[in-house]
Amino acid sequence: MDPIITIFSLVILLFSVIIHELAHGYIAYSLGDPTAKYAGRLTLNPIKHLDPFGSVILPLILFISGSPILFGWAKPVPVNPYNFKDQKWGSLKVAIAGPITNIALAIFFGLLIRFIPSSFFISFPGMFLMFSYIVTINLVLAIFNLIPIPPLDGFWILFKFIPQKFEKLTIFLHQYGIFILIFLIFFGALQNLIFINNLFFSLITGI
């Protein structure tokens, strides 16, 4: 991957993961939980959101290894579900807010690609590149975060519906989820992410 494109991608990635976490924080705040606000996390300041592995090490490893896509995550915003006004569905709403925000960004910029005349992008190819990377990275983030393994959002979405009899499995996933994710990332999950991303990219942009 070209170094300039890599830097460009990293900036978009950082912006996207911050927006993802802000969505969690603001939904939690709207439900009555001020934890993220008091922690200073309802901000666009990237320093507040950087996760050493997910925001720095993983993207660098993917770049060095020649991965066709870059992705990662920010430091999760702190949430106290006991503060939620909606105790039944509050945690689900907070969990799903991140992926929905990424999907919304992907759809918005994808529709710009679809409906803006091609002559505009011929005159300003950098805009096409930027919009394409925003769509791609946000689709990858949404798909990746919907994997039902902690600490990803997909697990917390599914957690609401997991029967009590699977408690041991839940405890196991809490303990080893991050290691399972690292294994999946480096042993095959990326190819599936790329395939699914390409499918949805085409559906949204018409390309």
Question: Which residues are designated catalytic?
Answer: 21
The Cβ of residue 182 has, within 10 Å, a number of other Cβ atoms equal to: 13
DSSP 62-129: HHHTT-S-----PPPPP--GGG-S-TTTHHHHHHHHHHHHHHHHHHHHHHHHHHS-HHHHHH-HHHHH
Report how far residue 1's alpha carbon sits from residue 63's, in angstroms, rounded to the nearest whole number: 7
Which residues, other chains included, contact 94 with Cβ-Cβ below 8 Å and sequence gap of 6+? 24, 27, 28, 31, 79, 81, 84, 156
